[in-house]
Amino acid sequence: MQNNKLTIRTPEGVTFTLPLAGPVSRLLAWIIDAAGILTCYKLFAKLTVLMGIISPDFSSAVSIFIFFALRTGYSMAFEWYWRGQTVGKRVLGLRVMDVNGLRLQPSQIILRNLLRAVDSLPFFYLVGGVTSLINRYGQRLGDLAANTIVVTATKAFEPDLDLLLDKNAYNSLQAHPHLTAKLRQLVVPEEAAVALQALMRRNEMVPESRVALFEEIAGLFKSKVSFPAEAVEGVSNEQYVRNVVDVLFKSTV
């Protein structure tokens, strides 16, 4: 059964992970691409009909060539031009990558697409589908031969902490530096990360869950360090967590 991540360790000792694409998203991408190929073929077929006025024989030959070129070359051309993406993969946020995280070579793109001939056997990519299900990196035979994987290409952006932590906002906890120092000492990175994530995603939560979650997190921090009553009076659990995160992440190293 496949993992959902491929971890790569660089010679510098840094590890990074590539999230592997699931079979359903790959199937959907394939359906989009198949529809694209068919649409393009229909459009070209209309043009070749016009050509048929001059020579029906030549028009038929062109039509055969176009279908073959689209069927065989569509994925190769797009995956080379868009560095591992076809229209379907782009829509679904997938990307073909080298299994070692290296740059994708044209020969890899060609081979993985040529081997669709066996992956699509006996119908609807049964061989490729079964192979990808039993392979730990979700590779079909074409991917195995070409040393490629299909990953979920999430576009990573720099987080904007200005939106989260307002530097001009008053933080009642900052009035007690000895307690904030203690808090920084006692809170482990994982707990801080949970609090930060909860704040960053707070607008995605349903109100009841949001209240319950921040109550729990605030309770955790309150159990570690007890601030005087005037510092926490009238401060909601969510605001308390914001103040704690502000203290933790704005501290100096």
Partner 1 sequence: MIIDLKRFISNERPFWTELDEMLVLNERDPYRRMHFDEIKRLHYLYQRASSDLSKIRTFTAERAIYAYLESLVGRAYAMIHAGRQETVRFSFWRWFWETFPRTFRRQRRTFYLSLAIMMAGALFGGGAIVWDPDAKAVLMPFSHLQMDPADRVAEEEAAQGERLKGQKSRFSAFLMTHNTRVSIFVLALGMTWGIGTVLLLYSNGVMLGAVAADYIWANQGLFLAGWLLPHGVVEIPSILLAGQAGLILAGAMIGRKSALPFGARLREVIPDVVTLIGGVAILLVWAGIVEAFFSQYHAPVIPYEVKIAFGMVELFLLAAFLRLSGRGRVKPMSWRRIRGWIKGRR
Pick out residues in 209-238 that bind partner 1 (CB under 8 A).
none
Decide if residue 146 touches partner 1 (CB under 8 A).
yes
Instruction: Using the rule CB under 8 A, give the single segment among 32-40, 43-51, 182-190, 219-227 that binds partner 1.
Output: 182-190
The CB-side HSE value for 91 (13 A sphere, CA atoms) comes to 13
Residue 101 engages partner 1 in binding (rule: CB under 8 A): yes
The one-letter code for the residue type at 185 is Q
Q: Does 156 bind partner 1 (CB under 8 A)?
A: yes
Contact stretch for partner 1 (CB under 8 A) within 25-33, 50-58, 219-227, 231-239: 50-58
Q: Which of 34, 43, 49, 117: binder of partner 1 (CB under 8 A)?
A: 117
Pairwise CA distance, residues 40 & 73, whole Å: 13
Q: Taking CB under 8 A as the rule, does residue 36 contact partner 1?
A: no
Q: Which of 62, 77, 211, 235 binds partner 1 (CB under 8 A)?
A: 62
Is residue 199 at the binding interface for partner 1, with CB under 8 A as the rule?
no
Residue 3 makes contact with partner 1 by CB under 8 A:
no
Which one of the spans 43-51, 137-145, 207-215, 225-233 is the region binding partner 1 (CB under 8 A)? 137-145
53 binds partner 1 (CB under 8 A): no
Interacting residue with partner 1 among 103, 124, 169, 175 (CB under 8 A): 103
Length in residues, the chain: 253
Within 13 Å and on the Cβ side, how many CA atoms surround 192?
A: 15
Structure-block tokens of residue 56: 């029906």
Chain positions contacting partner 1, by CB under 8 A = 8, 10-14, 16-18, 55-58, 60-62, 64-65, 67-68, 72, 83, 97-99, 101-103, 105-108, 110-111, 114-118, 141, 144-147, 154-159, 161-162, 165, 184, 187, 189-190, 192-193, 196-197, 200, 248-253
